[in-house]
């Protein structure tokens, strides 16, 4: 009876169930990982926003105190200085905006030239590193170990000061086939198109398009029948033969502007300044050493059974390398190769050490010193290198995805 009384004492008078049930499973705010991480992110963003606001506010305050105006109006003002090399028309009366374009084009020029040369040389050295010929393999290994372990800036100085600057003066130039070599650079005749040369250019463009179509047809034909077509010889014949034939039929509508020594320098023709040559050689040779090791690693990543199967089918070593090894090695080579391309583009900024008029030298150097617009100039320069890097990565990622094995 006492137990009944005790049980009835715990029940409420209205007959409802007791309220002290099991504890709730809902965690508190601090114990919820999602809410806690969200809080930390909000705090971090607020802190970063405060830091950037402080930096910007202090910068604007200091600029105002020193009487320095901000903005990009300076790009329309006259530059007042010359540039040793320009791919477009430029004079001292041009604007600072034109100096930006000149420096940008010169930077793109040396980057493209370096990438092409370093890729060709690096692939040759990477394959030669694995050659059965002892002399070729050891020479490639020596090249790689020497040039990749010497600082790039020293290599630039070597080619510029120890090689090119020691060449004779313009009056004692080395002449060959109407061209000249001296310490002012390489000077050779400039082609001057005449009436009718547009037909030759149209023929060249048509030959390139037809060669591309033939290559696509040959690939489909080989997949269906297994028969190969001489694509490279056919493309070479079209690209060289068609423009040459049109050039001869049009009466050779191309003249030459020969360089002539007038005073202390040559006038006319095309001059390749020594700064460009030195920078191109140093960047290409230095980067090629790293690309060679990347190519060697890619080739070694291909299963040895692939080469054994090719040998069993009677394929020569050259065809095995071309059709079996290299296509598979590219899937390993492309990602690190992209990094080497990015490094070469950014390393081109060392051009300012020898006076090559790239973006850093012309715009972030001379233009900044004359205008005092440090924030705008540095921001534009950084944006250029960021854009070039992103475009290079975008293209290489597209190519890498295209050559990957596709599932059937």
User: Does residue 1 register a pLDDT over 60?
Assistant: no
Q: What is the DSSP string of 81-117?
A: ---S--SS---TTSBHHHHHHHHHHHHHHHHHHHHHH
User: Does residue 306 register a pLDDT over 70?
Assistant: yes
First to last CA, the chain: 81
Least confident of 98-102, 290-294, 403-407: 403-407
Per-residue pLDDT band at 24 (split at 50, 70, 90): low
User: Does residue 223 register a pLDDT over 50?
Assistant: yes
pLDDT for 28 equals: 66
Exposed / middle / buried, residue 114 (Cβ in 10 Å: 0-12, 13-18, 19+): buried
Query: What sign for the dihedral angle of Cα 260, 265, 267, 269?
Result: positive
Per-residue pLDDT band at 2 (split at 50, 70, 90): very low
pLDDT for 285 equals: 96
Q: What is the CATH number of domain 96-189+258-405?
A: 1.10.3720.10
Buried b (16+ CB within 10 A) or exposed e, 48-68: eeeeeeeeeeeeeeeeeeeee
pLDDT for 260 equals: 86
How far apart (Å, rounded) are the C-alpha atoms in residues 156 and 248?
43
Residue holding tokens 């020569």? 316
Per-residue pLDDT band at 212 (split at 50, 70, 90): very high
User: Does residue 342 register a pLDDT over 70?
Assistant: yes
pLDDT for 13 equals: 52
How far apart (Å, rounded) are the C-alpha atoms in residues 144 and 293?
8
pLDDT for 377 equals: 92
Higher pLDDT, 187 or 22: 187
pLDDT for 8 equals: 46
pLDDT mean over 193-205: 89
- Does the predicted TM-score (pTM) go above 0.85? no
How far apart (Å, rounded) are the C-alpha atoms in residues 73 and 52?
25
pLDDT for 26 equals: 55
Query: What sign for the dihedral angle of Cα 12, 14, 15, 18?
Result: negative
**Mean of pLDDT over the chain:** 87
How far apart (Å, rounded) are the C-alpha atoms in residues 131 and 126?
9
95-99, 218-222, 371-375 — which one is most confidently predicted on average? 95-99
Give the whole-number percent of the chain exceeding pLDDT 70.
Answer: 92
Question: On the CB side of 224, how many CA atoms lie within 13 Å of its CA?
Answer: 7
pLDDT for 5 equals: 46
29-33, 59-63, 276-280, 364-368 — which one is most confidently predicted on average? 276-280
**Which residues lie closer than 8 Å to 78 by C-beta, 6 or more apart?**
92, 93, 94, 95, 96
pLDDT for 196 equals: 84
pLDDT digits (tens, 9 = 90+) for 97-123: 999 999 999 999 999 999 999 999 999
Higher pLDDT, 54 or 65: 54
pLDDT digits (tens, 9 = 90+) for 347-364: 999 999 999 999 999 999
């Amino acid at each position: 009876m006492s137990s009944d009384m005790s049980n009835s004492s715990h029940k409420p008078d209205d007959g409802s169930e007791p309220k002290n049930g099991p504890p709730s499973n809902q965690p508190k705010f601090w114990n919820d990982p999602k809410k806690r991480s969200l809080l930390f992110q909000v705090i971090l963003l607020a802190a970063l926003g405060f830091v950037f606001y402080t930096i910007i506010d202090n910068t604007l305050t200091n600029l105002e105190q020193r009487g320095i105006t901000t903005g990009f109006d300076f790009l329309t003002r006259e530059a007042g200085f010359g540039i040793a090399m320009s791919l477009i028309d430029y004079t001292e009366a041009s604007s600072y905006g034109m100096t930006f374009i000149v420096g940008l084009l010169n930077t793109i020029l040396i980057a493209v030239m370096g990438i092409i040369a370093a890729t060709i040389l690096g692939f040759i050295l990477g394959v030669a590193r694995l050659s059965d010929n002892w002399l070729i393999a050891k020479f490639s290994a020596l090249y790689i170990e020497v040039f990749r372990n010497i600082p790039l800036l020293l290599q630039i100085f070597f080619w510029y000061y120890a090689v090119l600057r020691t060449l004779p003066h313009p009056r004692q130039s080395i002449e060959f086939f109407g061209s000249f070599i001296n310490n002012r650079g390489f000077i050779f005749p400039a082609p001057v198109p005449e009436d009718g040369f547009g037909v030759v250019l149209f023929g060249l463009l048509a030959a390139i398009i037809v060669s591309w179509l033939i290559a696509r047809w040959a690939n489909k034909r080989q997949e269906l029948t297994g028969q190969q077509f001489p694509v490279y010889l056919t493309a070479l014949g079209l690209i060289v033969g068609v423009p040459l034939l049109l050039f001869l039929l049009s009466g050779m509508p191309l003249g030459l502007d020969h360089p002539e020594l007038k005073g202390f320098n040559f006038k006319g023709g095309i001059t390749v300044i020594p700064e460009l040559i030195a920078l191109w050689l140093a960047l290409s040779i230095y980067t090629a050493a790293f690309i060679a090791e990347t190519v060697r690693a890619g080739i070694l990543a291909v299963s040895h059974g692939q080469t054994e199967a090719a040998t069993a089918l009677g394929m020569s070593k050259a065809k095995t390398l071309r059709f079996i090894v290299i296509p598979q090695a590219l899937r390993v080579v492309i990602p690190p190769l992209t990094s080497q391309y990015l490094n070469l583009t950014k390393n081109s900024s060392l051009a300012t050490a020898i006076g090559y008029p790239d973006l850093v030298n012309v715009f972030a150097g001379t233009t900044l010193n004359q205008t005092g617009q440090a924030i705008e100039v540095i921001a534009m320069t950084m944006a250029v290198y960021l854009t070039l890097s992103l475009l290079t990565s975008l293209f290489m990622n597209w190519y890498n995805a295209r050559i990957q094995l596709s599932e059937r």
